[in-house]
């Protein structure tokens, strides 16, 4: 009986992720517009955009290679798998032994590498520009993310996400200074990876500043839809990862049905708060010059390493 329940909860989690990701992006855009005294677009605007794009005709450049045509599906697959791995609705997931925290970061890196390769595939100036900047940001952000995960795994003596959640929820409530450092570092990495304001503006198409947008410049129609959907899935995955590591309470472990039902609203609430937080940070900060980004991310990296050092020093 519990095997069916596990597969059901796993499937449910992935479906919820697929549906909720555009909602989350819509919610963040709404918050940002309100904070900037603008009338906000509806919550389901991203959904409509995806639907519109799926029905449009896909235009592919002549110089594109078969890799370009495969790449949207690979990235979409990576992001859905990432959302599947992160325990949002229950900790007993069949997929959890398949990949632990390091494999998750590797999975995100796989998605990113394919995105960069596809961007370079057409051979335009902006594609390669975007790819270089993306990889440049990535090689500083990924180590910081891994260090954050390591700080947490040193506390919970495990790198598998479900084990981390299980261990953190059953610990007495205590302040972990190393987790505090890790938290700040994680938010900085989240902003960098999801092309939010201080590192890259998600809405802009200004050649000089765009990183993520430059890479999906050449996509159109269903490919663009998949890319947008993957981007929002990525944001969703990062937020869920933040929740599992820093606010894991409320994620049920053994699968009794009403526990699952209760988890949904808790998750929605947490995501909403997360969305507000992101909107706040975005409106409060201005975009950094591209060569100021290394200092920003180096700061994140150092915070994460200090977090780990603090763990070794204070033992917590």
Partner 1 sequence: MADLRLMDCIFGVAVGWLAIGICGLLLIRHTRFVARVLFPLSALVGCVLGFAGIVSTFGQIQTSLLPIGLPNLPFHVRIDNLSSYFLFVQGIVTTGVSLFSAGYFSREEDTPAGLICLEYHLCIASIVLLLIADDAYAFLFAWEIMSLTATALVVAHHKDPEVRYAGYLYFLIAHIGAFCLLFCFGLLGINTDDYAFASIRLQRPDLMVGSFIFFLALFGFGAKAGFLPLHIWLPEAHPAAPSPISALMSAFILKTGIYGILRVSLDLLPIQVWWWGGIALAIGLATALFGVVLSAVQTDMKRLLAYSSIENIGLILAGIGLSILFKAYGMYALAALSLTAALFHVASHAAFKSLLFVGTGSVLHSTGERNLGRLGGLMRFMPWTAWAALIGSLAASGLPPLGGFVSEWLLLQSFLLTPGLPNSFLNMLIPIATATIVLVGALAAYVMVKFFGVIYLGQPREQKLNDAHDAGVWERIGFSWLVIACVGLGLFPVHVVQALDRVTHLLLGDGIGNAVAASGWLQLVPDTSERASYMPVVFLVVLLACCIVAYLLVRHVYHVKTRRSGPWACGFPIMNARMQDTAEGFGQPIRHVFGPFFRMERTLPSAFDKKPVYKIKIEDPLWAWFYRPIAAITEFVSSIVGLIQQRRIAVYLLYTFLTLMFLLLVINQ
- What is the nearest approach in angstroms of partner 1 to the Cβ of residue 214? 9
- What is the nearest approach in angstroms of partner 1 to the Cβ of residue 282? 24
> Residue for token digits 């209760």?
262
- Residue 117 has which token pair? 């390769």
DSSP-based three-state secondary structure for 179: helix
| CA 172/CA 150 separation, integer angstroms | 21
Of the pair 28, 108, the CB lying nearest partner 1 is at 108
In Å, how far are 161, 184, 299 from 88, measured between CA atoms?
A: 10, 21, 29
What does the H/E/C string look like for 262-313?
A: HHHHHHHHHHHHHHHHHHHHHHHCCCCCHHHHHHHHHHHHHHHHHHHHHHHH
Of the pair 117, 268, the CB lying nearest partner 1 is at 117
C-beta neighbour count of 298 within 10 angstroms: 12
- What is the nearest approach in angstroms of partner 1 to the Cβ of residue 290? 8
CA 10, 97, 189, 89 torsion: positive or negative?
Answer: positive
Of the pair 74, 278, the CB lying nearest partner 1 is at 74
List b or e across 39-69, with b for residues whose CB sees 16 or more CB atoms inside 10 angstroms: ebeeeeebbebbeebeeeeeeeeeeeeeebe
- What is the nearest approach in angstroms of partner 1 to the Cβ of residue 26? 21
- Residue 198 has which token pair? 């201080």
| Cβ(25)–Cβ(232) below 8 Å | yes
Closest to 252 (Cα-Cα) out of 268, 244, 23: 244
- What is the nearest approach in angstroms of partner 1 to the Cβ of residue 273? 29
- What is the nearest approach in angstroms of partner 1 to the Cβ of residue 130? 10
Give the rounded distance of the alpha carbon of 305 from its chain centre. 21
Of the pair 61, 281, the CB lying nearest partner 1 is at 61
Of the pair 131, 241, the CB lying nearest partner 1 is at 131
Of the pair 109, 272, the CB lying nearest partner 1 is at 109
- What is the nearest approach in angstroms of partner 1 to the Cβ of residue 137? 9
Of the pair 94, 257, the CB lying nearest partner 1 is at 94
- What is the nearest approach in angstroms of partner 1 to the Cβ of residue 3? 15
| Cβ(40)–Cβ(30) below 8 Å | yes
Of the pair 20, 278, the CB lying nearest partner 1 is at 20
CA 287, 293, 299, 300 torsion: positive or negative?
Answer: positive
């Amino acid at each position: 009986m519990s095997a069916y329940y596990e597969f059901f909860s796993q499937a449910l989690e992935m479906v919820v992720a697929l549906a909720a990701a555009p909602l989350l992006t819509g919610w963040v855009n709404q918050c940002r517009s309100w904070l900037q005294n603008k009338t906000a677009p509806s919550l389901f605007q991203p959904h409509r955009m995806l639907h519109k794009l799926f029905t449009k005709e896909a235009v592919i450049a002549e110089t594109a290679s078969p890799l370009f045509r495969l790449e949207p599906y690979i990235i979409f697959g990576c992001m859905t798998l990432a959302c599947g791995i992160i325990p949002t609705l229950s900790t007993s997931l069949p997929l959890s032994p398949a990949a632990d925290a390091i494999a998750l970061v590797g999975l995100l890196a796989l998605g990113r590498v394919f995105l960069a390769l596809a961007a370079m595939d057409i051979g335009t100036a902006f594609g390669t520009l975007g790819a270089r900047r993306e990889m440049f940001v990535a090689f500083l952000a990924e180590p910081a993310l891994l260090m954050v995960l390591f700080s947490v795994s040193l506390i919970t003596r495990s790198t598998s996400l479900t084990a981390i959640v299980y261990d953190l929820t059953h610990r007495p409530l205590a302040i972990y200074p190393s987790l505090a450092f890790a938290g700040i570092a994680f938010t900085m990495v989240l902003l960098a990876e999801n092309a939010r304001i201080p590192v890259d503006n998600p809405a802009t198409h200004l050649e000089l500043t765009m990183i993520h947008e430059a890479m999906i410049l050449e996509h159109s129609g269903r490919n663009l839809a998949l890319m947008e959907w993957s981007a929002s899935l990525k944001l969703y995955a990062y937020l869920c990862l933040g929740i599992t590591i820093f606010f894991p309470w409320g994620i049920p472990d053994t699968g009794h049905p009403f526990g699952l039902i209760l988890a949904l609203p808790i998750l929605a609430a947490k995501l909403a708060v997360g969305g507000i937080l992101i909107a706040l940070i975005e409106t409060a900060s201005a975009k950094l010059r591209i060569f100021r980004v290394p200092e920003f991310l180096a700061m994140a990296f150092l915070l994460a390493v200090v977090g780990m050092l603090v763990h070794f020093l204070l033992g917590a």
